[in-house]
Chains A and B, each alone.
Chain A
Amino acid sequence: MQGINDDSTSVSSAGGRRPTAARATRGLGVTFRSAKPVVWLLCLAPLAWLMYRAVFGGLSPNPIDDITDETGQWALRLLLVSLAVTPVRRITGWNGVIAWRRLLGLFAFFYVCLHLATYVVLDQFFDPNAILADIAKRRFITVGFAGFVILLTLAITSTAGWIGRLGRQWRRLHRLVYVAAVCGVVHLLWIVKGDDLREPAAYGSVLAVLLAIRAYYGFR
């Protein structure tokens, strides 16, 4: 948890925006430790609901498509939630929220893995030629795969050991999460059929707002 300490110190030293010690650990009266099981349950609920429908009926006659779609959507949603952590802290002064960032980011990566596994195992059934051709030829898959590689790197380097090893480079590396989020939205945009841009537009606007808040406070 070195990264988290590092982050909150830098904020207090930079401007001291409402950095009370109590708030840093007890925002809105909730501590990270006590609420952790709740966040786990919330993050796993979409998967549980999907599995329930897969087993007991409730998915469409093309369930592989449903699983691909839902795991992808939840990956993007959780990624945006994890990206909202810092803006929430900046705006509310609730420093304790930063403790959630790593967990939320890792859950986003978890759904990305499920999404990719659905494609590799259920959709293509390990057909290496088809998969490699897709990654090279289909731009929506290329950009989605790029997002996956970024998130994989960030997930591996999310441990305390890597945070210490990378030092100041760690924050620069982890800014790539924005690139991954853009990859996710573009991935969705490029699979849209017809002129129905509502879904990518919704995700894109949330991402744009988060980026704007980030830009307003300066990328640190």
Chain B
Amino acid sequence: MLIRTTAIIPTREITDERLYLDRRAFLRASVGVAAGGMAGALLSAEAAAAQTVLPGIKKSQLSTTGEKLNSFEDISSYNNYYEFGTDKSDPKANSGKFKPLPWTVKIDGEVGKPGDYAFDDLLKRFPLEERVYRLRCVEAWSMVIPWVGFPLADLLKVVEPTSKARFVEFTTVQRPSEMPGLRYPALDWPYREGLRLDEAQHPLTLMAVGLYGKTLPNQNGAPLRLVVPWKYGFKSIKSIVRIRLATGQPQTSWNVSAPQEYGFYSNVNPQVDHPRWSQSRERRIGEFLRRETLMLNGYAEQVGGLYTGMDLKKNF
């Protein structure tokens, strides 16, 4: 009887797991190319990242009215998303390789139900609504965007924050192979943001999964991002992979980079200038003359109560 003492497959012939996974990704991509090829079209990066229609969207009472929407083209071609590069045109140009699906969000810290939440399950669990919001960038430009999403408060309810939870920390995905901007330390990666728990639970605070009725383009933070309309845009963190409920105020990437310029709150405030430029006016994308910036980006009536008694110059 012959007893084999050596492995049938020599170790050198076993494929490294990473290569194997890359090959699977390649095969998946090839199938896509083949499908596209039947139509005689070359699968461009843009086509690969095509948005799909989100079903069952309801219009929200909380939408901002009386504002002209910016075009999809404006919203998806003028972005700050440093993981894809620091120019406004970089995110659209360099995010074609980014794969937003499948996706899971880790929710941990001071919560009763920590865990990895699948993006697909979140989509099924929460009814989607369209919310039109002004977005005011800290760089003194603004847009009006029809987001699609669900209130962050609804998600927080599901994970049951403990009585010790005071803050929420968010983290953006960090994938150097798909995000070429990560090669350069333009910020302290991974990108992190934070809110006070009551800010996070405010009905205006949205977890966005789409815009203009379709899933988010990669450059806008696919598949899941935060939208806090009364704060400067950089607070609305993109492509979230982790939400941690915390007892203390979390670190935020911009605050780490320039603490004197970007405070934890970063509420839109025309009376508190950025040290290097005025915040009193802004350029609405598509308009020539600057317009006055509104207190809390025009949402003071709804969210002003969160800051009663606080010195907003000190807590900028």
- Kindly supply a per-residue 1/0 record for chain A positions 116-145, scoring 1 wherever the CB is within 8 Å of any chain B CB and 0 otherwise: 000000101100001001100111100000
A39 at the interface (CB under 8 A from B): no
Interface centre among B73, B184, B276 (most CB of A within 10 A): B276
Interface residues on B, range: 20 to 34
A218 at the interface (CB under 8 A from B): no
* Contact between chains at B285 and A125 (CB < 8 Å): no
Chain A proximity of B73: nearest CB distance (Å): 7
B106 at the interface (CB under 8 A from A): no
* Contact between chains at B278 and A134 (CB < 8 Å): yes
A191 at the interface (CB under 8 A from B): yes
Interface centre among A124, A193, A198 (most CB of B within 10 A): A193
- Kindly supply a per-residue 1/0 record for chain B positions 246-288, scoring 1 wherever the CB is within 8 Å of any chain A CB and 0 otherwise: 0000000010011000000000000001001110010101101
* Contact between chains at B141 and A190 (CB < 8 Å): no
Interface residues on A, range: 20 to 34
B290 at the interface (CB under 8 A from A): yes
* Contact between chains at B289 and A61 (CB < 8 Å): no
Within 8 A of B (CB), among A35-72: 60-62, 64-65
* Contact between chains at B278 and A130 (CB < 8 Å): yes
B82 at the interface (CB under 8 A from A): yes
**Residue in B closest to A198 when the chains form the complex, CB atoms:** B184
What CA separation (Å) do A124 and B289 show in the bound complex?
8
B31 at the interface (CB under 8 A from A): no
Which residues of the other chain, A, contact B277 by a CB distance below 8 angstroms? 134, 138
* Contact between chains at B286 and A61 (CB < 8 Å): yes
* Contact between chains at B89 and A60 (CB < 8 Å): yes
Residues A60 and B88 in contact in the complex (CB < 8 Å), given A194-B257, A195-B257 = yes
* Contact between chains at A62 and B184 (CB < 8 Å): no
Which residues of the other chain, A, contact B141 by a CB distance below 8 angstroms? 62, 65
5 additional A-B residue pairs with CB within 8 Å, beyond A62-B78, A138-B276, A194-B82: A61-B70, A61-B286, A134-B277, A137-B273, A195-B185
Q: Which residues of B contact A (CB under 8 A)?
A: 70, 73-74, 77-78, 82, 86, 88-89, 139, 141, 184-188, 254, 257-258, 273, 276-278, 281, 283, 285-286, 288-290
5 intermolecular pairs with C-beta atoms under 8 Å apart: A60-B77, A60-B88, A62-B78, A130-B281, A140-B276
